[in-house]
Structure 1
Amino acid sequence: MQAITFLKEIEQFQSPVLSFNDVIRIIGKSKEYSRVYIHRLKQKNIITEIEKGKYALSEEPFEIASNLVFPSYISFMGAYYIYGFTTQIPIIAQIVCQNPKKEMNIGNIKVNFISFKNKRIFGYKRERFRDKYIFIAEPEKAIIDSLYLPKYCPISESYEALENKELDINKLLEYGLRMNSIITLKRLGYLLELHGIDIYEKVKHKLNKRYDLLNPFMKTSKKNSSKWKLNINDVFE
């Protein structure tokens, strides 16, 4: 099969990532022939081998990264950028997945795979992104993920993301509860309160009496929220 015919055939694929078996099905040849065929495509820079047995035509890191393993989805700063919550161009693509996976480089972007327990992998969707499809957290889930693990997305970015008027507050609350993380609920409740939204009565039965840090990467301050049992060690303007 000529390369141009191959490219026309794979236009039917909505995923930017092809497996070795996908190539076999497309060209209708044996495994041995398919290996030689793939080698020729790689030599012509038509496809790139992302990892063993997986190939990509796209050079878009977010397209490729969110289609490498299933289930998985873009979250944290990458999702914030795609949704317009931040103007910071991410240099790392953070992909939530179930099983641990080594980080890799795709183009000029480093890809980190962040392992979640299966019960915390929810609230994501398949969405058109440029010419292909990606898997990405819903806006509300991206915020919840970021409050759950702020090492991957600064608390200040989540504070700004919560300014978005199109967010579904009920979904934020639902996802916050579903994460089964007390500190996530505390951070969510406090930040929403700064935006004039009070969810305390709906979550107080889930909270504890221990004081946690609003920002785990800053020193303890002298300011506490007795309501949310948080040490307020970060300031947002």
Structure 2
Amino acid sequence: MKALRLRNINKPIFNLRDLERVLNVLPTSAKVIASRYVRAGLLIRLKRDMYVLAEQWPYFSIEQKFQFANLIQTPSYVSLMTALSYYQISTQIQRDFIESIALKRTKQVNIEKTIFHYSKIKSDLYFGFVRQRNFFIAEAEKALLDAFYLMSLKRYTLDVAAIDFGKFDRQKIASLLTKFPESVKQMAAEHELA
């Protein structure tokens, strides 16, 4: 059965060219097969021409899902409560919900009961993230300021009682705050961060 050959791809994320190679089919056939396998539940389509094996989904680590989040909408980086939880700054743990900051649009994608949520931010505030392993994630201080910024726009709710404010680098917050509007600076001051 051709479907068994999918395991020979040997990478978590693959495209139609990988299917062509492993199944030894023409590009048009690869597209038809991919659609058929998605309908049959053998493949999961993350987005156009980007797939993972359905049988592997339950075993992907949170870091791999962060990588998927970066790829489902580009450019984007993991931020907000997802990043704060990852850094163990929040006692709130989000299961199957990954928040990211994006430049293009605010949207939500549900893949296999995992929600990938993207909040659009102004391009001049799209900074303060790092590459870890194979994904981009906000620095802890920027994740908090992203949350404050979206809260100031009434587009986000943050459980501040779950945040350990003592874990933030106040000098870094002061440096990052220079690019944010006054409303965010006021929120930082209210939490004794600036």
Q: 1:25 and 1:152, CA in 2 relative to 1: closer, same or farther beyond 3 A?
A: farther
Segments of structure 1 that go 5 or more residues without pairing to the other structure are 194-198, 200-237
Post-superposition offset of 1:115: 0.7
Q: 1:186 and 1:24, CA in 2 relative to 1: closer, same or farther beyond 3 A?
A: farther
- For 1:36, the equivalent position in structure 2 comes to 32
**What is the letter of the counterpart of residue 64 of structure 1?**
F
Q: Please give the alpha-carbon distance, in whole angstroms, between the structure 1 residues aligned to 2:188 and 2:15.
A: 40
Q: 1:36 and 1:155, CA in 2 relative to 1: closer, same or farther beyond 3 A?
A: closer
Are positions 1:184 and 2:184 aligned together?
yes
Matches within 5 A, 1:70-219: 70-90=74-94, 92-128=97-133, 133-150=134-151, 151-154=155-158, 156-157=160-161, 160-164=163-167, 167-178=168-179, 180-192=180-192, 199=194
Q: Please give the alpha-carbon distance, in whole angstroms, between the structure 1 residues aligned to 2:108 and 2:42.
A: 24
**What is the letter of the counterpart of residue 49 of structure 2?**
G
Post-superposition offset of 1:8: 4.1
Residues 142 and 173, structure 2, Cα contact 8 Å, conserved in 1: yes
Q: Please give the alpha-carbon distance, in whole angstroms, between the structure 2 residues aligned to 1:136 and 1:105.
A: 20
> Which is greater in Rg?
1
Q: Please give the alpha-carbon distance, in whole angstroms, between the structure 1 residues aligned to 2:76 and 2:157.
A: 18
Post-superposition offset of 1:56: 2.7
Post-superposition Cα deviations, 1:153-203, rounded to whole Å, max 9, x if no partner, equal: 425157x23221xx333222221212x31111121123135xxxxx4xxxx
Q: 1:68 and 1:140, CA in 2 relative to 1: closer, same or farther beyond 3 A?
A: same
Residues 5 and 22, structure 2, Cα contact 8 Å, conserved in 1: no
Residues 127 and 135, structure 1, Cα contact 8 Å, conserved in 2: yes
DSSP 3-state at the match of 2:192: helix
The number of aligned residues is 182
TM-score by length of 1: 0.63
Segments of structure 2 that go 5 or more residues without pairing to the other structure are none
Q: Which has the higher contact order (CA 8 A, sep 6+)?
A: 2
Post-superposition offset of 1:121: 1.1
Q: Please give the alpha-carbon distance, in whole angstroms, between the structure 2 residues aligned to 1:157 and 1:22.
A: 47
Higher helix share: 2
Q: Please give the alpha-carbon distance, in whole angstroms, between the structure 2 residues aligned to 1:126 and 1:24.
A: 31
TM-score by length of 2: 0.74
- For 2:43, the equivalent position in structure 1 comes to 47
Post-superposition Cα deviations, 1:45-100, rounded to whole Å, max 9, x if no partner, equal: 44202344332345355442232122101111111221112232325322211111
Post-superposition offset of 1:114: 0.7
Judge which range, 73-82 or 101-110, deviates more: 101-110
